[in-house]
């Protein structure tokens, strides 16, 4: 919910204040007020007394210049009012202890991680899908952090330039920079970049170390096992929408002791025919679970009811592994997905 206005700049000079300029003026006033409160020794926004050492260290490493998907931004200080569009950027920020910087979320894909649900629910939800440009502006952010490229859809008026024109910085999850195949290294780099951006690099380093350890443990457990052929079923009936060779999903399957049967598809996602699925004989089907694409049970029912798929080993033996879509994206869940996949592909190694 937007903050109540303490004063209206337009009431002093209406001809000079467009909606965009009013928002910039309000943000400047908020920054000035925040600085004054800190100087006076007021408490932090969460009701506790702010540690002077924490305040001083939060500015270390600034000014900071970040090149992100072709957009170069210099930050004089960490962002303090952030809107996240899509769930995985929100979960990353919450895991790094940045709830107090978040003024809005949008477009939840899956059930939120239980340990994050209370904090996630405390942040205003701006929209069930991508919010409109004006809706984002009404939250008065100084940064918009998008998960998918659609967060900054130009045809919907949310281009990164449109935000820049009204004084709002943007950051796009590196998975959608569209230049190369996505790997776990991108996950770790994204976390470290966000840690630097918000002045909490030590937290980011600790998180990356934890995730690396989880991946290594799962990968070591299935080391030496034959690679299980895996078909990723995202959605579709006339054709199958699946994960291609550039997707992080392909990397997760490899680390878990499997092989994406459509790793030769030169894209993050793409459509393939059911005839191709039959020909590649997957032994396991990884079902991506997310809102708006049918339930997991509906997807299983569809796959099991197709006569053409009856002899596919994964269908015949009903070998399904379910992954929330958010677990297959550049974010905090991907390391956990490796473990879930490894257990589904090689259950005998985890007994």
What's the average model confidence in pLDDT over 336-341?
Answer: 96
pLDDT digits (tens, 9 = 90+) for 138-191: 999 999 999 999 999 999 999 999 999 999 999 999 988 877 789 999 999 999
The pLDDT of residue 316 is above 70: yes
The pLDDT of residue 265 is above 80: yes
List of residues 6+ apart from 194 with CB closer than 8 A: 92, 93, 96, 145, 171, 204
pLDDT digits (tens, 9 = 90+) for 12-21: 233 333 333 3
Per-residue confidence (pLDDT) for residue 180, from 0 to 100: 79
The percentage of residues in the chain with a pLDDT greater than 70, rounded to a whole number, is: 83
Backbone phi and psi for residue 259, each to the nearest 5 degrees, phi listed first:
-140, 125
The pLDDT of residue 123 is above 50: yes
End-to-end CA distance of the chain: 49
Split at pLDDT 50, 70, 90, the class of 285 is: very high
Length of the chain counted residue by residue: 351
Per-residue confidence (pLDDT) for residue 29, from 0 to 100: 41
pLDDT digits (tens, 9 = 90+) for 19-66: 333 344 444 444 343 443 333 334 333 333 333 333 334 468 999 999
Strand boundaries in 25-136, DSSP class E: 64-68, 71-75, 82-85, 102-106, 125-127
189-193, 227-231, 268-272: segment of lowest average pLDDT: 268-272
């Amino acid at each position: 919910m937007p903050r109540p206005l303490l004063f209206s700049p337009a009431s002093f000079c209406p001809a000079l204040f467009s909606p965009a300029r009013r928002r910039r003026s309000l943000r400047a006033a908020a920054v000035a007020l925040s600085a004054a409160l800190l100087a006076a020794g007021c408490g932090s926004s969460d009701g506790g007394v702010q540690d002077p050492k924490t305040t001083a260290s939060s500015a270390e490493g600034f000014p900071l210049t970040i090149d992100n998907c072709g957009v170069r931004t210099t930050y004089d200080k960490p962002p303090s009012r952030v809107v996240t569009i899509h769930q995985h950027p929100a979960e990353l920020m919450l895991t790094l202890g940045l709830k107090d910087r978040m003024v809005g979320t949008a477009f939840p894909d899956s059930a939120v991680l239980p340990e994050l649900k209370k904090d996630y629910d405390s942040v205003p939800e701006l929209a069930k899908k991508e919010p409109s440009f004006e809706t984002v502006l009404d939250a008065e952010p100084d940064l918009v952090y998008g998960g998918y490229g659609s967060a900054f859809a130009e045809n919907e008026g949310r281009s990164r330039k449109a935000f820049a024109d009204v004084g709002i910085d943007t950051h796009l999850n590196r998975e959608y920079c569209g230049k190369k195949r996505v790997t776990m290294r991108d996950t770790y780099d994204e976390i470290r970049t966000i840690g630097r951006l918000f002045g909490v690099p030590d937290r980011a380093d600790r998180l990356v170390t934890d995730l690396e350890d989880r991946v290594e443990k799962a990968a070591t457990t299935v080391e030496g096992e034959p690679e299980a052929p895996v078909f990723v079923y995202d959605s579709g009936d006339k054709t199958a929408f699946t994960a291609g060779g550039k997707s992080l999903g392909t990397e997760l399957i490899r680390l878990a002791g499997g092989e994406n049967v459509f790793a030769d598809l030169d894209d993050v996602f793409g459509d393939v025919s059911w005839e191709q699925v039959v020909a590649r004989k997957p032994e396991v089907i990884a079902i991506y679970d997310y809102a708006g694409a049918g339930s997991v049970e509906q997807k299983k029912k569809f796959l099991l009811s197709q006569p053409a798929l009856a002899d596919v080993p994964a269908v015949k033996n009903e070998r399904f592994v379910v992954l929330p879509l958010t677990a297959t994206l550049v974010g905090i869940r991907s390391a956990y997905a490796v473990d879930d996949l490894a257990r589904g592909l090689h259950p005998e190694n985890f007994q």
